[in-house]
A and B are shown apart, each in its own frame.
Chain A
């Protein structure tokens, strides 16, 4: 009798382990949805341009700190907007990183959208103005479960959508 109970115990344990190892299934994404992943790191323009110091100003500085240029390090925040048609999917003002606000601003956002055709627009401003400094529009047919990547290529200063 004990032997049977022992086998039953081991069976129950193994069944429990086997079961929760795969069940219940988890729906990561419904089959009529797609994803737009917005991801990039970009350094905004500097808040003020470098400026040549005047001779008087130079004289006031200690000798070891006398450089001709004064370059404030602070950068503009990066404003980004992603739209499908007229609907704003994402909109944010990304602050520069670093304690001197001189680093890159980074974003990663996973945005769920219905699958189907989207008239996408993405725009970015990195100079503190009102208009977008960079933008791209594209009409895309997003298949169900498609993971569309929206990036910004720092080298060509262009948005990449793929």
Chain B
């Protein structure tokens, strides 16, 4: 059931990818950097916010005037900063939403990955509260609307006895105290929480991508600047509590639930907000996903080289003091709670070599469910049926192209992630006569299911990263076929045929 939802989501996401792929090289596709883009937008918000802060006055009467001053008198700088501040905050909501949907439809939130997912939820709350308190500070009619409706929401929390809404009903009752509180939350309290929250959110990931590519930063900043210049953010009329605002230009990114406070009631809005948040929080476990056995270290073969630590995208391996009395100072150790069983560590381990003749093929680190020994057997089996030229296709299990190739009648060898395949296996397949060429199929470029599988594979084959493909291997016999952004699977068979053709003498 949930798999069906994922598949449907991937199809919809794919539809978004087609025009994106027209516009961007795949490594530069914004859809592959949504988390990092969000961080970038928050940077814009921070920098522009500091400018606004320099001129902002935290009193009931001063607030509106100081924002007006920035917008009108200082339009060329303050006005632009204000607009940037607003539009980048809005853009962050768009990217947070896409980021979430993407992690969901690509199933990157279950198992040990629950952690980033669950810590994302409080982040969303903080971002929203930050935005809402921001609108409050302008103290125009929109602020008035936000204040009174927020107060009604807060009044529903049963810990306060006096009505907070009472503070926003007349100018006499309104105090600078509230303003100072809001300003504190917006300017200091919540931003600190956001920084801390983001740190928590990516804490477990190795080498998290928090910066988008330069070109993308330039492009988005320019787009936001032009939007700010063409359509600068403006205030409503100054707040006047004796009058209710009539028509408002709501920022729908932040304030979409506010009209529901009137249409339903504050209580039901809470039910909605808390309900949706709770559902999102329990999603990694509902329904439960069968946990695959994590990577296993066999000390007899581990020489403590640390490559598995360098390559594991999930920080699941660490080096610990040697326990078996051998001369090596360290040994690898896997934390089963963090391991997603991608096998990238196996692809990194120098002892995972199919050339070993004596004894069973047991590398220092291995996946029990899809072992290095089985991988060798699969290559031998796939090499047994001869066609000329004979190509063995390796593909990761999440890649739809693999099925298309199989359907077309070709033998494939499946790995969990392309990064699981040690380069020595390619050497083995080619130099031992099991194949005339090998083709590696995997997820979209820049968007590997296991974060770095595709990247490490490319670097190992290009002999830039350990373990490197041996120099004797003719790289023209190795083809990389990362999935096209629009998941055009028929394309895979064409790629295959073209590769076979290129191998013919």
Seen from chain A, the residues whose Cβ lies within 8 Å of a Cβ on chain B are 2, 5-6, 8-11, 13-18, 20-31, 34-35, 37, 39-41, 97, 103-104, 106-108, 110, 145-147, 149, 162
Within the complex, the shortest CB–CB distance from B65 to chain A, in Å, comes to 22
On whether the beta carbons of B246 and A17 are closer than 8 Å, the reply is: no
Given contacts A6-B24, A39-B169, A145-B246, whether A18 and B231 have CB atoms under 8 Å apart is yes
Within the complex, the shortest CB–CB distance from A103 to chain B, in Å, comes to 6
On whether the beta carbons of B23 and A9 are closer than 8 Å, the reply is: yes
On whether the beta carbons of B244 and A147 are closer than 8 Å, the reply is: yes
Q: A103 — nearest CB in chain B belongs to which residue?
A: B161
On whether the beta carbons of B20 and A9 are closer than 8 Å, the reply is: yes
- B242 CB within 8 Å of chain A: yes
Q: A40: which B residues are within 8 A, CB to CB?
A: 166
Given contacts A9-B23, A147-B169, A149-B169, whether A29 and B161 have CB atoms under 8 Å apart is no
What 0/1 readout, one digit per residue, does chain B (268-281) give for beta carbons within 8 Å of chain A?
A: 00000000000000
Partner of A108 from the list B152, B170, B233 (CB cut-off 8 Å) is: B152
On whether the beta carbons of B243 and A41 are closer than 8 Å, the reply is: no
On whether the beta carbons of B248 and A28 are closer than 8 Å, the reply is: yes
Which secondary structure dominates chain A's binding surface?
mixed
**Most chain B C-beta atoms within 10 Å of own C-beta, residue among A5, A16, A97, A107:** A5
Q: A26: which B residues are within 8 A, CB to CB?
A: 247-250, 259
A13 to B233 CA separation, bound complex (whole angstroms): 17
On whether the beta carbons of A25 and B248 are closer than 8 Å, the reply is: yes
One of B42-50, B203-211, B218-226 contacting the partner: B218-226
- B251 CB within 8 Å of chain A: yes
Q: A28: which B residues are within 8 A, CB to CB?
A: 145, 244-248
Interface residues of B in 157-180 (CB under 8 A from A): 161-163, 165-166, 169-170
Q: A98 — nearest CB in chain B belongs to which residue?
A: B161
Q: A13: which B residues are within 8 A, CB to CB?
A: 91, 94, 220, 223
Within the complex, the shortest CB–CB distance from B256 to chain A, in Å, comes to 9
Partner of A147 from the list B222, B243, B247 (CB cut-off 8 Å) is: B243
A13 to B98 CA separation, bound complex (whole angstroms): 13
- B189 CB within 8 Å of chain A: no
Within the complex, the shortest CB–CB distance from A9 to chain B, in Å, comes to 4
Given contacts A20-B90, A39-B166, A107-B163, whether A14 and B224 have CB atoms under 8 Å apart is yes
On whether the beta carbons of B248 and A21 are closer than 8 Å, the reply is: no
- B264 CB within 8 Å of chain A: no
Partner of A9 from the list B24, B91, B161, B241 (CB cut-off 8 Å) is: B24
A1 to B456 CA separation, bound complex (whole angstroms): 31
Seen from chain B, the residues whose Cβ lies within 8 Å of a Cβ on chain A are 19-20, 22-25, 30, 86-87, 90-91, 94, 145, 148, 152, 155, 161-163, 165-166, 169-170, 219-220, 222-224, 226-227, 231, 233, 241-253, 259
Given contacts A10-B222, A108-B163, A147-B242, whether A21 and B24 have CB atoms under 8 Å apart is no
Q: A41 — nearest CB in chain B belongs to which residue?
A: B162
On whether the beta carbons of A17 and B242 are closer than 8 Å, the reply is: no
**Most chain A C-beta atoms within 10 Å of own C-beta, residue among B161, B226, B233:** B161
Partner of A10 from the list B22, B145, B166, B219 (CB cut-off 8 Å) is: B219
Within the complex, the shortest CB–CB distance from A106 to chain B, in Å, comes to 5
On whether the beta carbons of A41 and B163 are closer than 8 Å, the reply is: yes
Within the complex, the shortest CB–CB distance from A30 to chain B, in Å, comes to 8
A21-B233, A108-B163 given; name 17 further pairs at CB < 8 Å: A6-B24, A6-B219, A8-B23, A9-B20, A11-B223, A13-B220, A15-B227, A20-B252, A23-B252, A25-B250, A28-B247, A29-B244, A29-B246, A41-B166, A106-B161, A145-B243, A149-B170
Q: Could you list 7 A-B pairs, sorted by A, with CB under 8 Å?
A: A10-B222, A10-B223, A17-B91, A28-B245, A28-B246, A103-B161, A145-B246
Within the complex, the shortest CB–CB distance from B98 to chain A, in Å, comes to 11
On whether the beta carbons of B163 and A39 are closer than 8 Å, the reply is: yes
On whether the beta carbons of B90 and A21 are closer than 8 Å, the reply is: yes
A6 to B24 CA separation, bound complex (whole angstroms): 6
On whether the beta carbons of B251 and A5 are closer than 8 Å, the reply is: no
Nearest 3 pairs of A and B residues by beta carbon: A5-B23, A22-B249, A10-B223
Q: B220: which A residues are within 8 A, CB to CB?
A: 10, 13
Within the complex, the shortest CB–CB distance from A41 to chain B, in Å, comes to 5
Q: B227: which A residues are within 8 A, CB to CB?
A: 14-15, 17-18
